[in-house]
Structures are given as C-alpha cells and as structure tokens.
Amino acid sequence: REDVLYIVEDNDINITTFYMPKPSTISDNTSNLQTLLDLAKDGDKPITIIFPSGEYQLNHCVIYSNTTILLNKDTVLKHVVDKVYDPVSKSDKSISSLFLNAKPFDEQDSAITKYNGRSNITIKGGKVYAYCFFTMVHGENILIENVKILDSRADHSFQIGACKNVTIKNCEFIGAKLQGDDRKYVEFIQLDQMSQKAIPSWTEG
C-alpha cells in the first residue's frame, strides 16, 4: 500500500525497509520522512526508505548513519526552503539544503570532528529539484548514484565538508542559477574544509 507507512523486515540481512506514504502536503511529506529517518538515529540497524512513484515536496531533512534512500526513476523530490532558529544570531535562518547529515545550527552536531559524523549513507535514483541537494560534514562512505539533479538554485548541489569515501556516480546535473553578475560560474560539487563560512548552518564558538 502507498497510503500509509508500513514496514517489511528481512531478518536474514537485518535490514528494515520503510515505504513513504502517497505524496501529500509539504509538511506531511517532511514529517513522514523525518520520522522514518529518525529511526536510525539511536541504533546501528540499517534502514532502507523507498519512495513510490510520485512528486514529493519537502523541507530539509537530516539523514543518520546506515540509511539507504531509494527513489523510483519517476519519483521527483522538490525542495522547498524552510527556516531554523540560529541561537548565535538569535534569528531564523534559511536552510538551503534538502538533505543534511547534521542538524543545522545544533551545538552538539557542530562539535563533531574528523570522520565521526553520520556515515554509511546511500541515495539512489529519481529526479531532484533542490537549492542544494545534500550537505555532508565529517562523514564517510556516502554514495549518491543515478540521481538526476535539476535546476540547482544554491551555490552547489553537493556541499562536502571534511568527508572521505564519498562517491557520486552516474548522476546528471542539468541547469543551475548563477549567483550574481560578479560570479559567472556554479560549482555543482564543492569540496571544502569544515568552518562556519564553508557550511553556513554549522555553529562555531
């Protein structure tokens, strides 16, 4: 069924698979997906989330370790920017990334170092319209495969800060918005150090 969240367990391979419900509102889609993603938050049991065909509008979502997201070839994710409170500036700030492996403006997540961030993450298939598709920090063993990324509207489709073993395979990048007259280029994949300047939602202090 595609109208409810449901579970298929395979005890032989110790993976639990979840199916996203039929597309609904931005709030419902985001809440349903984050509820599933949170199931990997405190455990080490791998989870797989499958998106049936359809168009899903989503705000930002945080991905935890040992998570696989599978999109059908005719599944479309559309990113709608939302805001999160920044305790440093004491104001709401826009989150321009659809997926992150660290909570934005979170002091505990911002204390992560080396390659100790959320790792072993896979996203495969589908089409994505996003400002930035995935911001990843201090992680390793991350695979993005067979994703068509369309009309990026942020500086980068991938912001990769202090990670290792990141593979972006057989992806298509089509269309990007220039950031202004003083910048005539767009970097679809950005490799960077970890700092608040590099990752605006990273809290330093």
Query: pLDDT tens digits, residue range 141-196?
Result: 999 999 999 987 766 889 898 899 999 999 999 887 666 666 666 678 887 766 66
- pTM (two decimals): 0.87
Torsion of CA 182, 185, 188, 190, to 10 degrees: -60
Whether residue 75 contacts residue 56, with contact meaning beta carbons closer than 8 Å, is answered with yes
Q: Tell me whether strands 91-95 and 82-86 are parallel, antiparallel or unpaired.
A: antiparallel
In the predicted structure, residue 201 carries a pLDDT above the cut 80: no
φ, ψ for residue 195 (rounded to 5)?
Answer: -160, 165
d(CA 164, CA 157): 18
Give me the chain's average pLDDT, please.
84
